[in-house]
Structure 1
């Protein structure tokens, strides 16, 4: 078995730009000096993970610090995409490569040029050991939002390119709300409460031909009594927005 790796962008680089912004926001929220010890980020959910660029960033950052003898709470990374093939053929290989080239991986310091990585049972065992040493659990979910049951609250929730379908907005909001700790906008801003969730959604302003977009999503958020803050906006070319959202305690 081998994984091919290289460097590319899609949609003229805009989607990747949004995802890197999301990853940077994660570093600001849950770590210092862009290092993310396992004890600080316990649960992260990624809805519509695609190539999982923010998750790879976070995953690699966890390995920047040495493994601790005792970790009280595991780090759980849940990656969700409609297509199972995306998870098995894109997401998992990208996470594996993120570990391989990290500070704790056997590829540390190697020149990162496009190529192929041969994966054998010994390398898989090293990967599993690295996860066990840092108490990292990876979970993968495929299918529509209606069938998705994550069953845990998350410290961080990321979602990108998931608001294009009008018929799925209600189900998407249900999943987002179920994974977020009830958090007031003020507490989300200060982060003083440990049980808060940073929930970021990146999307185009309008998806031509399918009817979805930011306005329709905001309407659904207001219907579910969510609050929202625009954290990032691109107005030139294809309009794009990154929203922080949440639901206040009742």
Structure 2
């Protein structure tokens, strides 16, 4: 059975999870499934609107909090077993292939309970949360003052963000929540100042089963209590507000979904969703030509065969500006310790005012069983005419880094 390494699986979530994130050693094996020929893979990408994706939401979801030591409020994530339940209990007439370019629900059943996190050409591990996504949240949280999400929200407001290979989309979840945490008085007047969050995953089912539900959960603290569920006669409206630090259930009523959409409009937030191959995404980004202020990706360099198309996305996705000038070398036995986030310009002023787009890549030094690794990836960045610089480094357990790349 192949595993990338440890993941933040539902069975691993408890109050001490944040300790495991930075201390657990690799459990990966060398028995990876053989990579399929890229020639047989559909290289298109497909865009789906929020309104279309909302139709896939169930009537109710269950969620659990992910407590992290560097943020004050846990991140709420949909439970993986609940996503499985939704998939398995769809009516038969909904288990057929969806619109052109869509994903067959039967294919989802092949991987949602598979004993592997990688089925080349079918599934790329998007249903689970990986520690690289947590690492990006930690780096992004450093923008705030004393772990202030409002500071992060002010930093991201008015910017455009692309998360590549989003999966459960922890970084976008955190940024959306941070933006919504800014005082409504300062952002209600900024509904004309648009903030865009564009999330992409290989699988459309990942977007519907975990990505969108998690983004709804990110907005949960900012919805009016009465849309959560109608209070009983004997309880106050405040009593219906969920405990955001405990597991719970959320009824996705039409009123709640509408309130979620209205909140996005009121705060000038645009959500975009894309699934499919990176080659198609890169082509679309080139055609669009605008670029994003922030491009994020985590745990996406595990297969060297796909790095070329990933680099095309990263190079085409970031907004162009003055080239940076930063290079440094990396070794597999890096012993520099836990580096602090550099006090760079991108942390000092609103992201939308930066001279060029910022691209952050979170990855392990090595991916056992599939041959990918950070050193080979960064060599490829340099050979492609790019540069990179280290942002943060973790050496306990499996070595991990967040790096900034650019061209």
TM-score range, shorter chain: 0.7 to 0.9
Deviation at 1:52, TM superposition (A): 0.9
Q: Where in structure 2 are the equivalents of 1:76-115 lying within 5 Å? A: 76-102=196-222, 104-106=223-225, 110-112=242-244, 113-115=246-248
Residues 100-158 of structure 1, C-alpha deviation per residue, up to 9 Å, x if partnerless?
A: 124x5536964222111011111111111101111211111111211112434111111
- Name which of 39, 60, 76 aligns with 1:2: 60
- Name which of 36, 39, 47 aligns with 2:153: 36
Number of the residue aligned with 1:21: 138
User: In the aligned structure 1, how far is the partner of 2:136 from the partner of 2:317?
Assistant: 20
Q: Where in structure 2 are the equivalents of 1:124-203 lying within 5 Å? A: 124-148=257-281, 149-150=284-285, 151=288, 152-182=290-320, 183-185=322-324, 189-191=344-346, 194-203=354-363
Alpha carbons 1:226, 1:245 under 8 Å: kept: yes
Alignment partner of 1:6: what SS? strand
Q: Does 1:118 align with 2:251?
A: yes
CA distance 1:176–1:36, change in 2 (3 Å):
same
Alpha carbons 1:23, 1:55 under 8 Å: kept: no
User: In the aligned structure 2, how far is the partner of 1:17 from the partner of 1:232?
Assistant: 12
Q: Does 1:216 align with 2:376?
A: yes
Alpha carbons 1:199, 1:245 under 8 Å: kept: yes
Alignment partner of 2:388: what SS? strand
Alpha carbons 2:299, 2:363 under 8 Å: kept: yes
User: In the aligned structure 1, how far is the partner of 2:308 from the partner of 2:266?
Assistant: 39
Alpha carbons 1:39, 1:74 under 8 Å: kept: no
Deviation at 1:19, TM superposition (A): 3.2
Deviation at 1:14, TM superposition (A): 3.6
Alignment partner of 1:129: what SS? helix
Gaps of 5+ in 1: none
Deviation at 1:25, TM superposition (A): 4.8
CA distance 1:41–1:69, change in 2 (3 Å):
closer
- In terms of mean alpha carbon deviation, does 13-22 or 151-160 score higher? 13-22
Gaps of 5+ in 2: 1-58, 68-126, 229-237, 327-342
User: In the aligned structure 2, how far is the partner of 1:11 from the partner of 1:94?
Assistant: 12
TM-score by length of 1: 0.86
Deviation at 1:163, TM superposition (A): 0.5
User: In the aligned structure 2, how far is the partner of 1:50 from the partner of 1:4?
Assistant: 18
What is the aligned-residue RMSD (CA, Å)?
2.9
